[in-house]
Chains A and B, each alone.
Chain A
Amino acid sequence: MNALLAFIKKEFLHIFRDPRSLLIIVGMPIVQIILFGFAITNEITEAHIAVVDPSRDEHTTALTRKILSGKYFILDEYLPSEKQLEQSFLKGKIKVGLVFEPGFSQKLERGEHPQIQIVTDATDPNTATTLYNYIRAITADYALALHPSKATPGGIDIRTRMLYNAQLKGVYFFVPGLITIILMLISAMMSSISLTREKEKGTMEILLVSPLKPVMVIIGKVIPYVFLSLLNGTVILLLGVYVFHVPIRGDLVLLFGEIILFIITSLSLGILISTKVETQQVALLISLMALMLPTIILSGFIFPIENMPLPLQMISNAIPAKWFIIIIKNIMLKGVGMAYIWKQTLVLTGMALFFIVASVKNYKTRLE
């Protein structure tokens, strides 16, 4: 027991004396959450809009004012005709053009259906669709206020409710994903590097000759990183809750239990990597290329897994982060309990066990 404590103490000293390790462990989570939280967002605000409105009558001005009143659109200019729109698009001045039919109000008063054309810059399809939806929604709203009875064609009344994230905030989506990525990175990468460093420097040999059992060496390596990862997870959660107002609707104990499970899974994966490679560089390369990229791209963090081709969907099942993102989103945003996430929890537990058994086996064969 004393031997293990001495070893753990040494591990902490390594981390605190190495500026690079410290930077990764302390700096990265904070930089990442601020980057993702502020810069990368799928919410669009202040999109520039040009309006073509020949009649400038009661309804067109009222509707235009309504569209411009939110934070979503900024009026670039009024254009005399539709033809000038393209120039503005080409110059990159606007994202949307709004074209009213001449004599808009008159037609509306007569009970006809005057038309509005929405022109968007679809070089970025997501932005185009989002802006189109904003205007459609505002227009529908306006029409509804005008003729409450007529706005329900065929008597079907559509009322949308966005559950769990009513304002469709991007941060709600990124904070759980970010915790996943950072835990994965710190746990898997740092532990694999730290173990291969012992191999590279030759100290591993001394440890293997010493009475310290290989299992103890692994446990001693892992404990500091469990601790630091947990600390990091907590910092990100706090930032998420207090800076970005992301809710934690579920049970905190369950949430931390699952976080610890994921840390153990990632750490055991890092150890497995270190049993297979000899140098720190290779360990770093494998952690980054083989772990980080698939984790970011295939875990559902950025791209929805449902839209991927089947082979990629199947690969995504092998990525621990995929299961953890489902778990953590469900706990934080939906507030569900174990009854709803036991399947994913089981998958993660299975993966962790597999990695641990594989690593211990690999370490034993090094001793034979």
Chain B
Amino acid sequence: MREQNDYIVYVKDLTKVFGDFVAVDKINFRVEKGEIFGFLGANGAGKTTAIKMLTGLLAPTSGEAVVAGFDVRREPEKVKYNIGYMSQKFSLYDDLKVSENIRLYAGIYGLSRKEIKRKSKALLEELNMVALRDKLVGELPLGWKQKLAFAVAMIHEPAVVFLDEPTSGVDPITRRQFWEMIYKASVAGTTIFITTHYLDEAEYCTRVSIMVDGVIEALDTPKNLRLKYGADNMQEVFVLLARGEHTLQGKIKKEK
């Protein structure tokens, strides 16, 4: 049997209750190092609540979650140093320059002055943004901002990066480039935990979980999921699951 610490994300019976509403109901899953883990679900399915618990923003009601080897309940501070986070809302400061944004986040994550210098340079070169270093982030096109935000979220070399709908509102070409960055990071050993509304993106994930009404309804590789539900693409799988038509109970509920 493998230890829970062998996984980058280890979740057992994780539950969050708000009043008498069960937002997340005893979910279980494990994410391995270097995986691109797609975390799907309709709005209100409990995705955001689950991510908030994994990133230490929300305390679980019960259950266990170990992220990057640290228990989110007992060592939230250590978890924070070892994860990156990029939200659907834009996460950089528009009124700061590109270089200032990089320096700020590197500083917040406790990098030394020397490291900050080295990292900023490498990051700008990698993104082809050296010439833009003194531009205000607010003046950049959205696609550039998203790529920069992703790179900044990884500046402290976290074990796992949580991406909460990072590509919403971005044009197809930039999305494509964004996914290339994600692949690169995953090959380099960083685990990616991503939520998205674009179901074609789900096909790019190593494994995909689909949450419905607070529980994980399905979890497998995109290929296996398609085969299992006899669907042509992830879109069909998702619609099938989210509507609850795959179970007998769901069918009865639907017909009522």
Interface residue ranges, A against B (CB under 8 Å): 2-3, 5-7, 9-10, 13-14, 17-18, 201-203, 205-212, 367-368
A13 & B96 in contact (Cβ 8 Å cutoff): yes
B59 & A368 in contact (Cβ 8 Å cutoff): yes
Chain B binding surface SS class: loop
A54 to chain B, nearest CB (A): 75
Which A-chain residue is minimally distant from B92 (CB atoms)? A203
| Chain B residues positioned under 8 Å from A13 (CB to CB) | 95-96, 100
A7-B100 Cα distance, complex, nearest whole Å: 11
A2 & B58 in contact (Cβ 8 Å cutoff): no
A10 & B100 in contact (Cβ 8 Å cutoff): yes
- Contact check: which of B59, B86, B108 meets A6 at CB < 8 Å? B108
- For chain B, residues 18 to 54, give those with C-beta under 8 angstroms from any C-beta of chain A: none
Q: List 30 A-B contacts (CB under 8 A).
A: A2-B112, A3-B107, A3-B108, A3-B109, A6-B108, A7-B107, A7-B108, A9-B104, A10-B93, A10-B96, A13-B100, A14-B93, A14-B95, A14-B96, A202-B90, A203-B91, A205-B57, A205-B87, A206-B86, A206-B91, A207-B108, A208-B57, A209-B56, A209-B57, A210-B80, A211-B77, A211-B80, A211-B81, A368-B58, A368-B59
Which A-chain residue is minimally distant from B96 (CB atoms)? A13
A20 to chain B, nearest CB (A): 12
| Chain B residues positioned under 8 Å from A206 (CB to CB) | 85-87, 91
B89 is an interface residue with CB less than 8 A from chain A:
yes
B55 to chain A, nearest CB (A): 5
CB contacts between A and B, total, < 8 Å: 78
B225 is an interface residue with CB less than 8 A from chain A:
no
B58 to chain A, nearest CB (A): 7
| Chain B residues positioned under 8 Å from A18 (CB to CB) | 95
Which A-chain residue is minimally distant from B55 (CB atoms)? A209
Number of interface residues of B (CB under 8 A): 33
A7 & B104 in contact (Cβ 8 Å cutoff): yes
A202 & B57 in contact (Cβ 8 Å cutoff): no
Which B-chain residue is minimally distant from A2 (CB atoms)? B107
B52 to chain A, nearest CB (A): 9
Which B-chain residue is minimally distant from A10 (CB atoms)? B104
A149-B206 Cα distance, complex, nearest whole Å: 110
A229 to chain B, nearest CB (A): 21
A209 & B85 in contact (Cβ 8 Å cutoff): yes
B55 & A17 in contact (Cβ 8 Å cutoff): no
A367 & B87 in contact (Cβ 8 Å cutoff): no
| Chain B residues positioned under 8 Å from A5 (CB to CB) | 107
**Apart from the given pairs A7-B107, A206-B91, A211-B81, 13 other A-B contacts in the complex at a CB distance below 8 Å:** A6-B103, A10-B93, A10-B104, A13-B100, A14-B93, A201-B89, A201-B94, A202-B87, A205-B87, A205-B91, A209-B57, A210-B80, A210-B85
A6 & B104 in contact (Cβ 8 Å cutoff): yes
Which B-chain residue is minimally distant from A211 (CB atoms)? B80
| Chain A residues positioned under 8 Å from B250 (CB to CB) | none
| Chain A residues positioned under 8 Å from B113 (CB to CB) | 2
B83 is an interface residue with CB less than 8 A from chain A:
yes
- For chain B, residues 155 to 169, give those with C-beta under 8 angstroms from any C-beta of chain A: 162
B77 & A17 in contact (Cβ 8 Å cutoff): no
A4 to chain B, nearest CB (A): 9
A5-B104 Cα distance, complex, nearest whole Å: 9
B148 to chain A, nearest CB (A): 13
A156 to chain B, nearest CB (A): 70
| Chain B residues positioned under 8 Å from A201 (CB to CB) | 89-90, 93-94
A209 & B93 in contact (Cβ 8 Å cutoff): no
A17-B138 Cα distance, complex, nearest whole Å: 12
A10-B110 Cα distance, complex, nearest whole Å: 15
A273-B100 Cα distance, complex, nearest whole Å: 29
- Contact check: which of A17, A205, A212, A367 meets B108 at CB < 8 Å? A212
A9-B105 Cα distance, complex, nearest whole Å: 12
| Chain B residues positioned under 8 Å from A207 (CB to CB) | 108
A219 to chain B, nearest CB (A): 13
**Contacts A6-B103, A13-B95, A13-B96 given; does A210 touch B108 at CB 8 Å:** yes
B110 & A2 in contact (Cβ 8 Å cutoff): yes
| Chain B residues positioned under 8 Å from A368 (CB to CB) | 58-59
| Chain B residues positioned under 8 Å from A205 (CB to CB) | 57, 85, 87, 89, 91
A368-B58 Cα distance, complex, nearest whole Å: 5
Which A-chain residue is minimally distant from B162 (CB atoms)? A209
- For chain B, residues 97 to 133, give those with C-beta under 8 angstroms from any C-beta of chain A: 100, 103-110, 112-113
| Chain A residues positioned under 8 Å from B108 (CB to CB) | 3, 6-7, 207, 210-212
